[in-house]
Amino acid sequence: MTYPDQSFTSLLKELIGELGQLIRQELRLAQAEASEKVSQAQNGVIALIVGLLFAFSALLILLQAVVVALATVMPAWLASVIVGVVVAVIAFILVRQGQSNLKPVNLVPERTLNAMRSDRDMVMRKVNDSTKQVA
């Protein structure tokens, strides 16, 4: 009778030790992935700021084009409009890229969540197996 109790006790101690190690590993993984996601968010913010600067430049160029067009009716304004439109397109692309990088869905630590779900399932299987062995 004492042998199953000792076996269960040793299995329980082993399980607790493995759980501790598993939790430490998961925390390290979460920390690494969080650092990666912060870097991704930082790149998104930089792209957003650069896009906004290009948008501001486009506004200034387009305003200059309006001024030139009104001051003198010459083809020079057309060049300003073309340059302004090109800068506006570049700004639009950069702002969209920055917004995409900052979506909450892109910042979720998916690998950590999947690993933790897998670990939870493994622990549940081990506990179920241990209880079946004791019974």
Per the CB < 8 A criterion, the answer to whether 26 and 111 are in contact is no
CA distance 132 to 4: 12
Dihedral angle sign, alpha carbons of residues 49, 53, 58, 59:
positive
pLDDT tens column, 64-121: 876 676 667 567 767 777 777 877 888 899 999 988 888 877 777 888 888 888 888 8
The verdict on pTM exceeding 0.85 is no
pLDDT tens column, 23-34: 888 888 888 888
Per the CB < 8 A criterion, the answer to whether 37 and 102 are in contact is no
